[in-house]
Structure 1
């Protein structure tokens, strides 16, 4: 198949999933064309099976804001014609589905170009915050030739919000060969020069991720006289506030902000625990990647996280904002290395048994084939 994939190129779950999906499709003999405003995250190598087409923005004085949706649709038409794409797979309904549906209609007289939309969560929460988006989002869902969601939670939320139920749940995935715990003594020594325990947080530092809660947790764990450091991986709008909070709590010297990293697996491999105190997660990709690296997860009980993290088996869950319990959970696991290691082993087992690429990628391919033959969702 020749598949066009559009994602936000930012440091977030949907961009990661879209990039990894394209790479896995290419490994299985398909040709993938990424159509985006910039090279998607995790897409570090292009070859005869993986191509990138940059959306070029038009600069015209009439427009106060550049019309990205139209520019994207134009590029989709151009690539679909030139590369004879079999389908377009867009991640996020707004604005990507709008562009893909427009491109499909432009080409309708010449050929069929199915559009598949994958929901990642903000599609739904955006409508929750601004109901004016509801009609256009519902239109995108109804006009897509196939719709997938990354969790059962997100499917239920979509049905509740839009009354739309033609959705196939295909969860996020992880490559067990790439995401496995390996020794990185130099990195470990750099991050924990005195042999401290390492708490790791990975996100795009948006408010919904509540990264400041990680600093609150660290401060409480340090009060228990444990040698521990916090490693914050990623960047975003909340970073400055989190750094300020660390200084205010007097724990800045125990925090390391490493920014965006191309190899998250290296940092997860040296982690003792992952902190995921998000206000909302439709799935929790960071949790899955940590589990594959045998890292127990301390997380909020929200959204689709309980589908991924099994309470008491692969991690410990708390109410959103309950930093006291998250801190106590972290202390309990750090003081019991045998329990922590057993939990880590069970975490990897669950990650591979339910979410490995060998299980999930064939489901995407089967869904593509169903849509191409007119089955849809």
Structure 2
């Protein structure tokens, strides 16, 4: 049996920040090391020096290059220009795979992939929601419009990849049962991320790390921290690391609550560097899909306290005592207090290390994704050519 041929793979996504960016970087590196050619198309207006440094790290694995152009977050006329510019760039690269991540990335990959196929060029079109549009409510007009567009785009899709069962179930509820091939491939992290990160002597009690926007719950973290101090009856320490549009609001909230000296704010940095600064990691999100920060923290052997949202219970366990009701600062505070006052809390609450690594490793993730890519390309290669196609 002949070896599968190297594939030309392009990942499309909007924002080079957070979990989607991490997911694409891991896939790009793993598949490039296997001999495949990888490219990235993403927004040029998002991110800063930290993201630029991450791009520099991944460039050696991008044989098809890095294409950055303006892609707005909201839907509007500017999308047509972004679509046309992306099409011109991608067409010249002649990809075998177009994998879109998030709502905007999914639209780019599927529309452009379909345009290429109209022009008699076969390319497999994949979509991974990563939460994205699934965070909308099906009861709102905007949500209904988004889910209608999601359903419509299934006609342009060869496969949908969900990063957790929660995401799959949410899609089925809000959009409908997929009418194309779909499967779950859990996010995974590299073996080098499974090394223990010891806490520094000056480590704080709690860490929030992520985007500074309400969806991720920084305001809940601040409120819960203040309540935890009252429950325990002494001053505590915390740190918030990240960047985002609402950072100023959270700084003002800390000042009003008199927490300015006990909660320190720092700009975005690598997760493992941040983990050394804390004894516990808190993920207070209002909504999530399968956040990488949970996986990274557990791999570094940091106790995790989180909201019961998205795929987090699939990692920590459905009945985990580390989970709190989403949006409930008091419930989160009680979990935070338990983590500090119960000596054996981490050992009793955190998931089994061996099982965790077997499920959430980057090697398993990249192998499952590549298996899907290869099957879709083989199907494309073996499909009969349209009778109208010239020899």
Q: Same fold (TM over 0.5)?
A: yes
CA contact (8 A) 1:197 1:334 kept: no
Q: Deviations over 1:153-212 (max 9, x none)?
A: 11111112222324211111111313532347xxx35xx3xxx64311122122111111
Give the deviation of 1:97 after TM superposition.
2.9
Aligned CA distance change for structure 1 residues 229 and 304 (closer, same or farther; 3 Å):
same
Q: Residues 11-66 of structure 1, C-alpha deviation per residue, up to 9 Å, x if partnerless?
A: 222222122221222233222111122398443321264553334459xxxxxx76
Residues 247-280 of structure 1 deviation map (CA, whole Å, 9 limit, x = unaligned) = 111111011111211x111112442111111111
Name the TM-score, length of structure 2 as normaliser: 0.82
Between stretches 21-30 and 286-295, larger displacement belongs to: 21-30
Aligned length: 357
TM-score for the superposition, normalised by structure 1: 0.85
* Cα gap change, 1:182 to 1:112, in 2 (>3 Å): same
The separation in 1 between residues aligned to 2:311 and 2:326, in whole angstroms, is 13
SS at the partner of 1:85?
coil
Measure the CA separation in 2 of the matches of 1:123 and 1:371: 25
2:111 matched residue in structure 1: 102
CA gap of 1:348–1:205, structure 2 versus 1, over 3 A, is: farther
Show the counterpart of 1:21.
27
For residues 53 and 355 of structure 1, what CA distance do their matches in structure 2 show? Answer: 27
Q: Give the direction of change, closer, same or farther, for the CA distance of 1:101–1:320 in structure 2 (3 Å limit).
A: closer
Q: Is 2:244 aligned against 1:236?
A: yes
How far apart are the structure 2 equivalents of 1:97 and 1:73?
15
1:201 aligns with 2:208: yes
**What is the aligned partner in structure 1 of residue 192 from structure 2?**
177
- Of 32, 52, 55, the residue aligned with 2:65 is 52
SS in 2 for 1:369: helix
Task: Output the aligned Cα RMSD.
Answer: 2.7
Contact 2:38 2:61 in 1 (8 A): no
2:367 aligned to which of 338, 354, 362:
362
1:255 aligns with 2:263: yes
Residue 62 (structure 1) aligns with: none
Instruction: Report the alpha carbon displacement of residue 362 of structure 1 after superposing the two structures with TM.
Output: 0.2
- Identify which of 311, 327, 342 aligns with 1:336: 342
Give SS of 1:177's match: helix
Name the CA distance, whole Å, in 1 between partners of 2:104 and 2:204.
42
Structure 2 counterpart of 1:304, from 282, 306, 311: 311
In the alignment, structure 1 residue 319 sits paired with structure 2 residue 334: no
1:61 maps to: none
Instruction: Tell me, yes or no, if the aligned pair for 2:194 and 2:299 is still in contact at 8 Å.
Output: yes
Contact 1:153 1:303 in 2 (8 A): yes
What is the aligned partner in structure 1 of residue 387 from structure 2?
none
Does the 8 A contact of 2:324 with 2:335 survive in 1?
no
Residue 135 in structure 1 maps to residue 148 in structure 2? yes
CA distance in 2, matches of 1:269, 1:24: 26
- Secondary structure at the aligned position of 1:97 is classed as helix
Q: Distance in 2 between matches of 1:103 and 1:312?
A: 43
Shift in alpha-carbon separation, 1:336–1:134, aligned structure 2, 3 A: closer
- With over 3 angstroms needed to count, the CA separation of the structure-2 counterparts of 1:336 and 1:125, relative to structure 1, is closer
Give CA-to-partner distance per residue, 1:124-160, whole Å, 9 cap, x none: 2246351222332212233211111111111111112
**Unaligned 5+ residue runs, structure 2?**
1-6, 381-391
